[in-house]
Amino acid sequence: MRLSPLTRALLGAFTALALVFVYLPLSLVLLNSFNTSRAFAWPPPGLTTRWWSQAWSSDGARSAIVVSLEVAAIATVVALVLGTMAAMALHRFRFFGRDTVSLLIILPIALPGVVTGIALANAFTTMLGLELGFLTVVVSHATFCIVTVFNNAIARMRRLGTTLEDASADLGAGTFTTFRLVTLPMLRSALLAGGLLSFALSFDEIIVTTFTAGSGVTTLPIWIYQNLFRPNQAPVVNVVAAALIVLSILPIWLAQRLAGTDESVAAAR
Amino acid sequence: MVKSFGPVTAVAGVDLAIADGEFFSMLGPSGSGKTTVLRMIAGFEQPTSGRVLLDDRDVTGVPPFARDVNTVFQDYALFPHMDVRANVEYGLRVKRVGRAERRERATAALETVRLGGYADRRPTQLSGGQRQRVALARALVNRPKVLLLDEPLGALDLKLRREMQLELKQIQRDVGITFVFVTHDQEEALTMSDRIAVFNDGRIEQVDTPARLYEAPATAFVAGFVGTSNLLRGSDARAVFGRDGTFSIRPEKIHLDDDAEPTKARGTVRAVVYLGSVNHYLVDLDGGGTLTVLRQNLRDSTDSALDQEGRRVALSWDDAHVIDLDDSGAGQPVGAGTETQEAP
């Protein structure tokens, strides 16, 4: 498409403005993590790595990160297994209520976290008689992590169709061999992208976590929230936030690279 | 066999016996049920009623992976994440054939389809014709009892398709495996097949050799679908043959002359279709109806052929070549009592 010089200039300006609006505050967080002033004075009176070493040695921050990583990892694994199975079931078989089931699987990601949180907490404590803790957080996170895996997997399956699986069966492979040798390799990049996204979703989840964690489990977002307004902890919180910015770029970048390989899958068809 | 999808009946009743080592084609327009029959033989669809017998063994409920049948799919369905060799070896691999034998048989299969040097390529790096050969090798390497081919040449251009037709036939002769070939292209079916089943609307109109289908079509549908239909019905027929009925004469069996005695019918040339080596003359008969006459351009120049438009002509033919389609004996030439059909 051809654009006039004026349109191009305007579009460029708006794009720049939007990017600045989003990324300037983020870079401020990064900068402030080196700010010598405890109150984040502007401009920074000096630069220091003191807060980084303090954060590194903070037991609260470290254990919160470990808990968050564990929760995200387990929830993602659960989501990968269940999400893939659900996608296969809905893709391969026609049955009564198929569209409804599909909707019900996707719904949790659209529901307000408060509602999900209250509902799950109630169900855990009253109906199931569970004590709120690590397990309940993992299960709650898995409910919305499944959606990203499911969506990625079913989109890929729809694009691939069933002829490859038919061909595999025709050549003598049973259901599980076909899954191992054909279906899974064809889904791999979609599952990785979905898994990374669900990991990221779980890692920074705070609302559902607040309701389902009880008092014993502190994930990173909850730790940050608890320490944010303690003046002497502010620089450490800021460092953790800065570290998270750097860390979260990684999975998103990877997911995008993997989505790029989808094109080669399409080309193979 | 009968196959219904909900309220839609795809196959209304098909009874077929295919001989061992035969090149058998299922020919018909799209939606006539031929592919559904193929998928029932492969095991991807279960017949609503009826049975599938393979070597006298009932395989109706047997899943595709347990049937001694392989398929070449319309879009080839090569595994994009494997190279050509891995694709061809796949069937042997899942049947736990040893690595050395696998390699040897895959190499031989690739040689058969003349793709010896392509084992390490990815399917994406191959042309349509090459992918088609890989799909063929991948199926043949398993030495199935029956090879099913679902319009495998449909995606190729005309020249390549002609080449592959001859090659497929040659490969089938060499390996001696029964081929069941689905196509909507009558020329393709006539070129390659030992026998052809003509499908229409979920039923089989006729099963016969290519020559018999062409020379003695059983129904008006077959006469029209295989070759150019040259039908005369009702009063048009009475004017020529002296009685009502549905008759067909192939265009090349009709002799066209300016003025000849004896003649079977007279008419006016409405149009001449120039086709290079031959011309089609569309002749409006005086008694009604139109016949297409094919004439080779042996002596005529293009100009003199086109000059025929609007001229009065006399048509003549051998009665043995007239096909009476209403005859309950179906597909018998009118003069069948005295003439013998040439064997294919």
Q: What is the CATH number of the domain that holds B172?
A: 3.40.50.300
Dig out the tokens for A78 from the structure: 């659960």
Strand, coil or helix: B330: coil
Same domain, B29 and B161: yes
Residue A266 has pLDDT above 80, yes or no: no
Same domain, B283 and B173: no
Does A245 reach chain B within 8 Å, measured CB to CB?
no
- Contact between A91 and A101 under an 8 Å Cβ cutoff? The reply is no
Cβ-Cβ pairs closer than 8 A, A with B, add up to 69
Q: At what angle do helices B99-112 and B128-140 cross, to 10 degrees?
A: 130
> Which one-letter DSSP state was computed for residue B228?
-
* Residues on B contacting A at a C-beta cutoff of 8 Å: 42-44, 63-66, 69-71, 73, 75, 77-81, 90-91, 93-95, 122-124, 138-139, 142
Q: Compute the distance between CA of residue B318 and CA of residue B321 in angstroms, rounded to an integer.
A: 6
Does A163 reach chain B within 8 Å, measured CB to CB?
yes
* Sign of the torsion formed by the C-alpha atoms of B111, B114, B118 and B123: negative
**Minimum Cα–Cα distance from A163: chain B residue:** B77
State the CATH number of the domain containing residue B260: 2.40.50.140
pTM value?
A: 0.76
Same domain, B164 and B28: yes
- Residue B24 in any domain: the answer is yes
Listed residues B170, B196, B219: the one ending a domain: B219
Tabulate helix, strand, coil % of chain B (nearest 5). 35, 25, 40
Same domain, B292 and B215: no
φ, ψ dihedrals at B208, nearest 5°: -165, 175
Minimal CA–CA distance to B333: which of B317, B344, B312, B309?
A: B317
Strand, coil or helix: B278: strand
Same domain, B146 and B42: yes
Q: What is the pLDDT of residues B51-104, one digit of tens each?
A: 999 988 999 989 999 999 999 998 899 999 999 999 999 999 999 999 999 999
From chain B, the residues in CB contact with A181 under 8 A are 90, 93-94
Number of helices (H), then strands (E), in chain B: 10, 18
Domain that holds residue B137: 3-219
Residue B259 has pLDDT above 80, yes or no: no
Same domain, B148 and B23: yes
**Minimum Cα–Cα distance from B77: chain A residue:** A164
Minimal CA–CA distance to B24: which of B183, B143, B211, B227?
A: B183
Q: Which domains can be identified in chain A, with CATH numbers? A: 61-155+189-251 (1.10.3720.10)
- Residue B299 in any domain: the answer is yes
Same domain, B65 and B24: yes
Pairing of the two strands B323-324 and B265-274: unpaired
Mean pLDDT of A240-251: 83
- Contact between A237 and A158 under an 8 Å Cβ cutoff? The reply is no
Q: How confident is the model at residue A268 (pLDDT cuts 50, 70, 90)?
A: very low
Same domain, B307 and B171: no
Residue A229: count of CB within 10 angstroms of its CB:
9
**Minimum Cα–Cα distance from A174: chain B residue:** B65
Same domain, B58 and B187: yes
Q: Do A167 and B73 touch (CB under 8 A)?
A: yes
Residue with tokens 């254990």: A63
Same domain, B203 and B76: yes
**Minimum Cα–Cα distance from B79: chain A residue:** A164
Dig out the tokens for A185 from the structure: 């390799």
Same domain, B160 and B71: yes
Q: What is the pLDDT of residues B203-229, one digit of tens each?
A: 999 999 999 998 888 888 898 888 877
Q: Do B142 and A171 touch (CB under 8 A)?
A: yes
From chain A, the residues in CB contact with B96 under 8 A are none
Q: Do A163 and B65 touch (CB under 8 A)?
A: no
Kindly report each contact of residues A101-110 with a partner whose C-beta sits within 8 Å and lies 24 or more positions away, as own/partner: A105/A146, A105/A147, A105/A150, A106/A147, A106/A150, A106/A151, A108/A143, A108/A144, A108/A146, A108/A147, A109/A144, A109/A147, A109/A148
Same domain, B76 and B163: yes
When divided into structural domains, chain B yields a total of: 2
Assembly ipTM: 0.78
> Which one-letter DSSP state was computed for residue A265?
H
pLDDT score recorded for residue A79: 96
Peptide bond into B144 cis (omega under 30): no
From chain A, the residues in CB contact with B66 under 8 A are 172
pLDDT score recorded for residue B335: 38
Q: What is the pLDDT of residues B127-182, one digit of tens each?
A: 888 999 999 999 999 999 999 999 988 878 888 888 889 889 999 998 899 999 99
